[in-house]
Structure 1
Amino acid sequence: MASDYIVVAALGRPLFPGMLYDCRKDSFIPGVTLWNKNSLSENLDSHPQPQTDLKFSSSDSFASKSSLLDVSASLKASFLGGLVEVGGSAKFLHDTKSSNRQSRVTMYYSETTKFEQLTMNHLDNITYPQVFEQKTATHVVTAVLYGAQAIMVFDRTFSEEENKQKIAGELNLMVKKIPTLSIEGSGAVNMTDDDTNMVENISCTFYGDFHLEQSPTSYIEALDLYKKLPSLLNNSKNAVPVKVWLYPLNLLDSKAAQLQANISTGLLSSIEFMMEDLEKVERTCNDLSQNTLVNDFSDIQERLQSFQKTFNKYKAKMLKEVGRIVSAIRGGEIKETSIEEMLIYHDFLGMFRQWLKDAKSEFNLLSSYIKGIKIEDSDNLNTVLFDPNVDFVVCLMLTSLNEDPYLESLKKLLKSDKSNKLDEEQNKVSVTCETKWFNDPDVKTKMRDNLSLFKGLSVANKDENGICFIISAISNTLSPGSSIYLYEKGKLKSTDFQPVSKPPPLIVKDVHEQTMSLKLQKSPTGETEQYRVEYKQVKEESKAEEQWLVINTTDEDFTLSGLESGKQCMIRYRIVSRVGVSEASETVKSITSPVCPDPAQQTFLYDAPEEKPRVLTVPCEYLLDNGVYNMMIITINGKVNADANQFVVDLSKGPDIACHVNFSFSEDGNPRIGCNSLIGSIWGKEERGVSSFHFFRGMPFEMKILCTNTEFQVTVNGSHLMNFKHRIQELDQIRGIGIYRDVTLSSLNVGKLQ
């Protein structure tokens, strides 16, 4: 190895014939030469060597970048170890994507002008032999290829919603179009409207050996520069060293320093992979720093900054170690196994990746958690608390944002430098990771419950000027995850406030012509002070939306009065507390009893003539003389048997069933209602009613079936259950009423609704 010529890329360094070079560190020694200036100039051979090259790359890897600049494996190791300070176009080697949401294409342009070399005539005529004794250099520059390189890096940032592959394809296409595009005399670029729109989002970064008044930053500016590049090297004096040839000094004097060894290709690849991993961590960290949570919560910002600081220290330490070990191996001071040990220490990077993975999980959870809620950082919380127009501040407090035991463990681990006990230490950190608050199922369940309570109260009281709802962050280890804080007139009243929540549906106990008896229930959470009953009656003749009427009461058993008879009523209620009202319960629909019609228009089965049965037994069948008609109401009173499985009411036209009302009871006693028809011995498609209603085994009931021109309406105990459109239109032919299965009847009334 010591007797071989070495060819290296200049990388913007001032390497000229006769300069001394130390291949152990890939550094040049300025101001010291083997020959005097006259000897060098007299023995220098120069001839033109014009050549142009154009390449494209869509890879951002270090391997791709070094390939474009023709960087040797040995020089790559020196660069990665921080031994080489590059300039000009070679600064491109430091350029990496700052985000994972970034597509990139690189255009490489190279032009050479001349080749200079020292002749062999003077090699033995050493003017300064003391250089060999000093052992500061291993080689001398004997030849230089001059020219210039230009590198333009085109970037296109995309959002998470955009198609990454599509963006990358469009960017690649537009960059490769540059050599074919023309610029008109007016300066306009000849391209389609679609291309014009596309390039507006493309940015450009320039690295080059050309002297420019202004570097391009956009696609159009880069295109303009590309067209001018060939003319920028008209004067060969503007050329710079591009590639140099190094001659071993030990061939001139055996006392000279030598390159004893070099890094193997396999280990060099490992170092490259390490650098790629470091860059990926940096990009992911940069993406996280753009999250709005970082600006919304100072705790998150401080943790992210602490992570970045810790990672930067780790990265600097790794690069310093690479440089030290590479130099020592080349000088024969240590064996290659030293760099293998250093790469084992690099396994710490997996812990940094784990932190970022957990941080993304935490950010995603928090983003969905706080969506649509006003955020006040703890630093600004006092501004809200001391607003004189606000009596109550209900704050959904995030209580664990500043806790990061994993990061603290990682910091200690890096300080201890326990690379020989890495597996043991990683296991300790892994246990710490599992204890993070957002990995605890119980904490997540509690947070979901708190969010539901908070949102329910905030939605129900959004128009209340005296109550403010915000989300903030204060550490509280006693309540991990989140808690609801209550402030009253600027003072903290509770760190575990339980707001009132949506109550269960009300129960309609009894229905009369103008009143309904209701059963109200306390809030499952918080303190119930009173109830707010809200109701409105549906008026068919009015197309306008009826307004909810409101009555407050402290009674759980409440009678709603002043209603119109025979009208459907929609009823719901809220819980009233000291701090606002709850969400409304589910709305219950019920119909008030109609005014008793003229007895002449009614048929009472129990008052029928002697030939009709006086005792109501099931099955019970009754024949209507004139069939059903508009506004006819059938009222059935009775009791569901304690062991009931089914209860059926049929309205029939001969063998066909116009309306088959079927109540069935599941094993737990919950009822289900469905309506169907049987026409021509074929059952139609069953229609289902409401999924939950007050109708159970062993309870009395009043069932009403109202017939209109278009449908049958079924109500039980004042609750409207369903509507069933007529499938048999000849209403006057529907004459049979049949009641079957597991009920005991007390009365059957047929009349006209007034």
Structure 2
Amino acid sequence: VSDFSLCSTMAEGAGTIEMAALGRPFQLGMLYDCRNDALIPGVTLWDSDLLKKDHHKTSQRNSDFSIIASDSTENKSSALNVEASLKASFLCGLVTVEGSAKYLNDKTTSKKQARVTLQYRTTTTYEQLTMSHLGHKNVTHPEVFEQGTATHVVTAILYGAQAFFVFDCMVSADENKRDVQSLMQAMINKIPKIDIGAKGSCHLSNEEKLKAKNFSCKFHGDFALPRNPTTLEDAIKLYTNLPELIGESAEHSVPIRVWLYPLNLLDSKAAKLLRSINIDLVCRSQAVLEQLDDFDRKCNDLIKHKIANQFPKIQEKIKQFRDMCQRYKLLFQSKLAQLLPLIRGKGEQESLLADLLNRKEKSPFSKQLLKGWLKEKKKEIKIVQHFWSQLKGTKVVSLSTERDRVLNDLTVVNVICFMFTSLQQLESYLVDLENYLKLQSDEAPDPTSELHDYSQETTKQQFNSDTSQQMRSCTKLFLELAEANKTEEKTKFIIASTEDESNPGASLYLYKNGILVEKQFQLPPKPSSPLIDRKAHNSVTLKLQPLTCDPGETVKHRVEFRKVSEEVWMQVDREDKNEFLTVPALYPNTHYQFRYTVCVHGVNVTSALIESQTLPTSPPGQPLI
């Protein structure tokens, strides 16, 4: 990387501040307020004719490139040479960036997003005011000192241009993000090594060409383009043309860095910067905002999860959480934006900023609590996914309209629903987050006002060992019922969710003719296996054990049988309460399986099966010698 340091001049002397331009329209002699990092347009110390006449210009031709594999604010700020105080102003929204500096605002939206950035930077000209300007007697408009609207004047500008090519690639479930990023970095590292006269050609392996199809490209630069690149191929062609786009005489270059001279060194009555912001506090503020951005990315991924799509209430809660984090971020930035000018211009103690950061960790929006809620939500999704996967593709009816369509189907008599009962439960922590935001919004916008401490230390677990055990039992029962009733066309099995605090975790709901008849359906005790009473060559008589049922329950009994070699079950209904039932019309000397099935509320419960062989049609003959 080339050295962009410049020779020492009066414009860069004692008390002078050097900073990144960040796409802002700086001009020599322009006034600047370092208290809120704002340009003061339309007001100068000197007439424009004098400014044009007495300034010095030197050539500073240089260019370099770098590869950025991190998407952190720290790395982006470093790439643009943004120092701590200016970074603080950017973080809280006091500074609006343009041109290549918009790269600072380009953040990944998913944890599955691999990103590598190529930076191109060139400098062209260095301009500075001459010594004759820097004296009180030469000031044309001395009233500026008394107005107090500015703290510094622009005395030097380094011109040039920058460009950032941001490449993104979504990582699939069977890929490793680090491996994908390494491949991207190796490919993108080839771009600056292309011969300018090679018409944008770049040798890529077949694997690289295939992978490049999945790359997207965004461009942030100080160059006027007819269209922005969107692919790796577009980026290669543009990169080789960048030196031409700045113009033969660098007429299209823009301010890259500026030097600001304190006004109070020209006149003691001028406003001045009383205090700079402690770097540690800037880093802590940056960490808060990056944490909130990271939560945003994690929420975006969870919202797209197939379980969140199947159960809208999960998705709704994650969106609510994400939106409240975004609202808190704006609130934090607003308070930060009010504090910085107070500390810089009025000499307020930095402890005000430290207090704001400390109170954040005592609020519902503390890092520990936000992280804990997301951890619990991921756990909830994994638990639901685990049990859903065991329910063997049973249809999920997430909306009440879908459920009504199944329940109102005239061809269906019984519906057994595996009901997740805790997904829609009101979460007090989300309520606390909302109430906290409302309280802060209702308060006067005083950054030094007291923020109320939050007493809750941990977020409540929606799923614990008891609820997991209940869900396990319901899953086992549901599968048994589904297996026993798979041939029953009038019995349907579905999955849904509702709020039911009396049955936390999950429960089986039984609907009969569209009406809910049981919120905690329990499988009747399995009937005992039938006993063989007697056998003939064409029939078997079974003895059936009585089944205990609640009074008023509609109970039907039948015996099901099949040849051992066959899959399909035949049946004989038990018409009365006789404990003996004969299965007729069997084949002689054949092995059969038998089981006893009881139908309660339209749901079949089946015994373990037994085997028996019918008798032959005649006694065996005499053995032959």
The answer to whether the 8 Å contact 1:532/1:573 transfers is yes
Is 1:199 aligned to 2:212, yes or no?
Answer: yes
The superposition leaves residues 570-619 of structure 1 with CA deviations (integer Å, 9 ceiling, x where unpaired) of 3344332342434x5554444557789669769xxxxxxxxxxxxxxxxx
Residue 326 to residue 358, structure 1, CA distance change in 2 (3 Å):
same
- SS of the residue aligned with 1:468? strand
Map 1:219-258 to 2 at 5 A: 219-235=232-248, 236-258=250-272
Of the three residues 562, 567, 570, the one matched with 1:536 is: 562
Is 1:389 aligned to 2:411, yes or no?
Answer: yes
The amino acid that maps onto 1:446 is: Q
C-alpha displacement of 1:146:
0.9
Is 1:288 aligned to 2:328, yes or no?
Answer: no
Instruction: Determine which structure has the larger strand proportion and give its number.
Output: 1
C-alpha displacement of 1:91:
0.8
Question: Partner residue of 2:573?
Answer: 552
- SS of the residue aligned with 1:426? coil
**What's the % identity of the aligned pairs?**
38
C-alpha displacement of 1:563:
5.0
The answer to whether the 8 Å contact 1:400/1:437 transfers is yes
Is 1:269 aligned to 2:299, yes or no?
Answer: no
The answer to whether the 8 Å contact 1:528/1:575 transfers is no
Residue 523 to residue 240, structure 1, CA distance change in 2 (3 Å):
farther
Residue 188 to residue 283, structure 1, CA distance change in 2 (3 Å):
same
> Can you give the 5+ residue segments of structure 1 that lack an aligned partner in the other structure?
540-544, 603-625, 627-754
The answer to whether the 8 Å contact 2:190/2:202 transfers is no
Question: Partner residue of 2:3?
Answer: none
Of the three residues 422, 425, 431, the one matched with 2:455 is: 425
Residue 546 to residue 312, structure 1, CA distance change in 2 (3 Å):
closer
C-alpha displacement of 1:111:
1.1
C-alpha displacement of 1:537:
3.3
Question: Partner residue of 1:353?
Answer: 371
Residue 2 to residue 324, structure 1, CA distance change in 2 (3 Å):
farther
- SS of the residue aligned with 2:156? strand
Map 1:555-704 to 2 at 5 A: 558=581, 560=583, 563=586, 567-582=590-605, 585-591=607-613
C-alpha displacement of 1:18:
0.5
- SS of the residue aligned with 1:255? coil
Residue 338 to residue 384, structure 1, CA distance change in 2 (3 Å):
same
- SS of the residue aligned with 2:492? strand
Question: Partner residue of 2:97?
Answer: 86
The amino acid that maps onto 1:574 is: T
Of the three residues 450, 474, 496, the one matched with 1:450 is: 474
The answer to whether the 8 Å contact 2:421/2:501 transfers is yes
- SS of the residue aligned with 1:438? coil
The amino acid that maps onto 1:357 is: K
TM-score where L is the length of structure 2: 0.85
The answer to whether the 8 Å contact 2:60/2:126 transfers is yes
Aligned-partner Cα distance in 1 for 2:527–2:244: 82
The superposition leaves residues 181-238 of structure 1 with CA deviations (integer Å, 9 ceiling, x where unpaired) of 5799998764332111111111111111111111112222222211221221124221
The answer to whether the 8 Å contact 1:453/1:500 transfers is no
The answer to whether the 8 Å contact 1:145/1:241 transfers is yes
RMSD of aligned Cα (Å): 3.2
The answer to whether the 8 Å contact 1:461/1:467 transfers is yes
Residue 180 to residue 523, structure 1, CA distance change in 2 (3 Å):
farther
Aligned-partner Cα distance in 2 for 1:182–1:537: 80
Question: Partner residue of 1:407?
Answer: 430
Of the three residues 492, 515, 532, the one matched with 2:516 is: 492
- Higher alpha-carbon deviation: 31-40 or 108-117: 108-117
Aligned-partner Cα distance in 1 for 2:261–2:451: 42
The answer to whether the 8 Å contact 1:509/1:519 transfers is no
The amino acid that maps onto 1:382 is: D
Higher relative CO (CA 8 A, sep ≥ 6), structure 1 or 2?
2
Question: Partner residue of 1:437?
Answer: 462
The answer to whether the 8 Å contact 1:116/1:144 transfers is yes
> Can you give the 5+ residue segments of structure 2 that lack an aligned partner in the other structure?
1-11, 441-448
TM-score where L is the length of structure 1: 0.72
Is 1:482 aligned to 2:506, yes or no?
Answer: yes
The amino acid that maps onto 1:398 is: F
- Higher alpha-carbon deviation: 45-54 or 476-485: 476-485
Aligned-partner Cα distance in 1 for 2:488–2:612: 31
The answer to whether the 8 Å contact 1:182/1:190 transfers is no
- Higher alpha-carbon deviation: 104-113 or 551-560: 551-560
Residue 2 to residue 454, structure 1, CA distance change in 2 (3 Å):
farther
Of the three residues 55, 59, 80, the one matched with 1:48 is: 59
Of the three residues 127, 131, 156, the one matched with 1:143 is: 156
The superposition leaves residues 64-121 of structure 1 with CA deviations (integer Å, 9 ceiling, x where unpaired) of 0001111111111111121111111111111111111111111111111111111111
Aligned-partner Cα distance in 1 for 2:582–2:127: 108
The superposition leaves residues 413-439 of structure 1 with CA deviations (integer Å, 9 ceiling, x where unpaired) of 4555697764x6133xx2xx33x4323
Aligned-partner Cα distance in 2 for 1:193–1:597: 79
The superposition leaves residues 264-320 of structure 1 with CA deviations (integer Å, 9 ceiling, x where unpaired) of 222222122222211111111111111234433343333233222321221111111
